[in-house]
Amino acid sequence: MLFDQIARNKRKTWLLLLVFFLLLGLVGYGVGYLWLGSGLGGLILALVIGFIYAVTMIFQSTNVVMAMNGAREVDEQTAPNLYHVVEDMAMVAQIPMPRVFIVDDPSMNAFATGSSPKNAAVAATTGLLAVMNREELEGVIGHEVSHIRNYDIRISTIAVALASAITMLAGMARNMMFWGGGRRRNDDDRNGSSGLEIILLIISLIAIILAPLAATLVQLAISRQREFLADASSVELTRNPQGMINALLKLDN
């Protein structure tokens, strides 16, 4: 059952990529139709921007995320307890040993990043390490290692990259609208618009307004589903549901 879910996650990577690129293309077409005088030109521009965003995030996600969080990489000598827990969970999950990071932050948090198990990393905050005992830390790290094994990180990375591109294009469109960038296109439409042009105008405006919201909703749905799966996978790795339960109770409090 679990391995079937992992296989489905891999297939959903491509489906998710298609959905987000469709949203991106719709926004790009709207921007091009309203302000560049060519819907096709806007579509091509949007797809190029989305491709660059996705490739950049996929191949540099680990370093970018860790740098953004001010994380420092540790090894067996500098953080033996965390390192050994990550090592144990990776061994049970049968994935390559991820890089291990610590974030100097009093809040309790842990996260994983990397587009595949080969370039993955796991980070924990100093606040989490100070509060969790070994059993609870295994539950938390098992959760993050499960994200890596289940290829959740790749899906999330693609979602974030393309949602960012969609938001950027929509923001550009709103700025152009505020500064009157589409005035000539609107004047032409008023002077002699066909029914098709009016429909395209309405679709373009709706896409620019609603696509960022749609992208966010898709991200939230994906995140919720993957979190439940990672909790179940963590219990499978640790063979200790109580550790995960206690960790969640501490995080909730």
CB 140 within 8 A of CB 173: no
Q: What is the C-alpha separation between 244 and 68, in angstroms, rounded?
A: 28
Total Cβ atoms within 10 A of residue 46: 25
Degrees, nearest 5: CA angle 5-224-138: 75
Q: Which of 42, 50, 56 minimizes the C-alpha distance to 24?
A: 50
Global pTM reads 0.70
- pLDDT in 10s for each residue of the chain, 253 residues: 556 665 666 676 677 667 777 888 888 888 887 777 777 888 888 888 888 877 777 777 687 778 888 899 999 999 999 999 999 999 999 999 999 999 999 999 999 988 788 889 999 999 999 999 999 999 999 999 998 988 887 777 777 777 888 888 877 777 766 665 554 445 444 454 567 667 766 776 777 777 777 777 766 766 766 777 787 788 888 988 888 889 888 888 7
Q: Which residues of 134-143 are buried (b: 16+ CB within 10 A; e: fewer)?
A: eebbbbbbbb
Amino acid letter for position 213: L
CB 160 within 8 A of CB 65: no
- Give the active site residues: 144
